[in-house]
Amino acid sequence: MPTLLRLRAAALTATAVLLSAVLGGCGDDDAKDEDLTQQELSWQDCPTPSDAQGGGSAPSPLPDGDEWQCATMKAPLDWDDPKGDSIGLELIRARTTGDAGERIGSLIFNFGGPGLSGVTTLPGFGDAFETLRTRYDLVSFDPRGVGRSDPVLCANDQQLDAYFQQDATPDTTAERTELLDSTKEFNDDCEQNSEKILPHVRTTDAARDLDLMRQVLSDEKLHYFGFSYGTELGGVYAHLFPQRVGRVVFDAVVDPTRDPEQSSLGQAKGFQLALDNYAEDCVSKSGGCPVGDSVQDVKDRIATLLNDLDRKPIPGVFPRELTQSAATGGIIEALYSQEFWQYLTDALQQAYAGDGSLLMALSDTNNGRSENGEYDNSAAAYTAISCADAKPRYDAAYVERKLPEFRAASPLFGDSLAWGMIGCTDWAVAGAADHPDVSAPGSAPILVVGNTGDPATPYEGARAMVNSLGKGVGVELTYRGQGHGAYDSKNKCVQGAVNGYLLDGKVPRTGTVCT
């Protein structure tokens, strides 16, 4: 299995949300004749997260002591048959701290993936979003196919251990066959276990869910904060419902003009840039860099480590070994956030000494594996949503022809990202389009925040999103920083611009740069 490069919010790295999959079951015959826009949500204290959300404890109280509240919203399984079977979408909210007269409405968050649970993620931002809570109820949700919202189920925990450990960059015919067979087996398991939901997890379905959510929450307009893949979801919403767009912000922006191959190639360049920036930062420290004497030495030593692991893994998290694939995933995980660069240094030091436990722990976080060995359903949901959205299907021969281009983009990550393109080859559901349509003439302004050092959604995607939204819609703001996303960097310029728009409707001057 190729390293799982989800398009997610940077803060998810810091909170290290780990999940596992168990729930299922579409269909609610009782709702067939119900007007779902008129449903009343039954808000209650949030339960402990399900296995599909990662398990663990119920969310801690908010900074002011209030409790998080959860509810289940019914939505059509098939939006082409809205009177047919329904599914349940899990929501979470924090009521506003402001006076009723100051309340704007609900601010709905999507934190990326696709496949990440908003119900388990939003509480991790209890402090970060307190300013926004002064005028909004903060709301997030598990998109369809994710967490408690009729999750896609594929492989079990033992199968996933083997899946993520296998050689994701085959050098021989036997390794290539093993990778292709394993990918097909994973996809077949998804079809067998989740056949009913698979055709209905496209981003267009989730966008229609958002508009139903807006109505059920009694908001005239959708106020929305999307991170990473959440910017694609927000763009698709704006395309489908431009007149219903309220105050909307996109951060860590997906390039809507790229097909899966172009996106993978862009990520290869983005993570290589992040690695270069990490190496430069390490060697610039006054005490020296413990994993290399120069930028090139740092990268050369990492390349040597990965090559050595390809031949002979080292002890990881008992009883598993650190393979080349796991090490690559651990390095990528640490590059999502500048705050994790020190962890990468520590992990590399340990690995050079024969201890792969920290790199494997980082890889486990990337793959959604908890300390008790259980996985979330994010790998399954990521695959299901991505494959239902994207029309192209790439076979092994095509990947092999493209390897030189990917290696030129990134000597370290190119192979892994190239081979990752086979993930949808044997998928049971046809993809919808080459790339999403986000044109939104007539929409209210959408603030689009791009980070020049973003590895997962390269900076160029912000300009592409602005241009694709259309004239007078996208407002571009640039953050010259590191990591995936900008708002979570705590940069005062970025947060001031975002908060000013969401709270007071002040649209920044397009082209604003924050450093």
Residues annotated as part of the active site: 228, 454, 484
Distant-in-sequence, close-in-space partners of 366: CB < 8 Å, separation ≥ 6: 3, 4, 6, 329, 330, 332, 333
Give φ, ψ of 513 to 5 degrees.
Answer: -120, 130
The token pair at 379 is 């790998």
Q: DSSP letters along 65-123, please?
A: SPPPEEEEEEEESSTTSTTS-EEEEEEEEE--SS-GGG--EEEEEE-EETT--HHHHGG
One-letter-per-residue 3-state SS of 430-481: CCCECCCCCCCCCCCCEEEEEEEECCCCCCHHHHHHHHHHCCCCEEEEEEEE
Whole-number Å distance between alpha carbons of 294 and 280: 8
Q: Copy the structure tokens of residue 48.
A: 């402990």
d(CA 45, CA 51): 18
Q: Token pair 């694609």 is at which residue?
A: 232
DSSP letters of 41-81?
---EE--PPPGGGT--PPPPPPTTSPPPEEEEEEEESSTTS
- Whether residue 39 contacts residue 74, with contact meaning beta carbons closer than 8 Å, is answered with yes
Place of tokens 């998928």: 427
What count of other Cβ atoms lies within 10 Å of the Cβ of residue 396?
17
∠ Cα 386 2 230 (to 5°): 35
